[in-house]
Amino acid sequence: MLKHFRPAIILFLIFTVLTGVVYPALVTGLAQLLFPNQANGSLMAGVNGNTTGSRLIGQPFNSPGYFWGRPSATSPFPYNAGASSGSNLGPTNPALLDAVKTRVIALQAADPDNKTAVPVDLVTASGSGLDPHISPAAAEYQISRVVQARHLSAEKIRELVATHTEPRQWGMFGESRVNVLTLNLALDTLH
């Protein structure tokens, strides 16, 4: 009976070492060698040098002097990177409609002089609930609020938004977008 179990045990140990130690170590080493920034989470540092977040994961900004990102639908708290998910609410769901109305009211209250339509990406969560980007229209909508809070010129802020607007991927996939964290970090360097 032992002669039947012995090869199984030996193969189990060999494959455990190969798939549980050697392969993960090889992949981790290659990732650190070839893509160190991405392998370590694409972390960003603020003006004080401290890590402030990842450029790949949205985070909350609610001060009037910062650009705000998309709402998050993660639970049990917003922007929970360990629980990426959408709200799963359909476009006619009353809960989604109420949430969107509440967000529109909050955005209009933060900048009552702004009479333009609120861009949809400022009031709806992405499929992951963690999208770090907003549309250029969503950034444009927020410029007047940021200008008032920071006492900077609108032209300077528009230039900053234009600088941080990323084009379509490979010129054909997706839409132009603005990474909220990188934009806000650049905003903190202005005087």
Please tell me the distance from the alpha carbon of residue 73 to that of residue 86, in angstroms, as a whole number: 5
Structure tokens at 17: 């070492």
Neighbours of 125 (CB within 10 A): 23
- From CA 123, how far away is CA 101, in angstroms rounded? 8
pLDDT of residue 10: 93
**Cα–Cα distance for residue pair 138/133, rounded to 1 Å:** 10
Q: Say what the pLDDT of residue 38 is.
A: 83
Q: Rounded to 5 degrees, what angle do the CA atoms 39, 40, 43 make? A: 130
Would you tell me how many other CB atoms lie within 10 Å of the CB of residue 171? 6
CA distance 161 to 40: 26
The pTM of the full predicted model, rounded to 2 decimals, is 0.79
Helices (H) and strands (E) in the chain, counts: 7, 5
SS3 category, 170: coil
CB 114 within 8 A of CB 145: yes
- DSSP string covering 10-74: HHHHHHHHIIIIIHHHHHHHHHHHH-HHHHTT-EEE-TTSSEEEETTS-----STTS--------
pLDDT value at position 37?
A: 83
Over its length of 191 residues, how does the chain's per-residue pLDDT go in tens digits? 778 889 999 999 999 999 999 999 999 999 999 998 888 878 777 767 787 888 888 888 989 999 999 998 888 888 888 888 777 888 898 988 999 999 999 999 999 999 999 999 999 988 888 889 999 999 999 999 999 999 999 999 999 999 999 999 898 898 999 999 999 999 988 86
Domain chopping of the chain, boundaries: 1-40, 42-189
Q: Which amino acid is at 115?
A: K
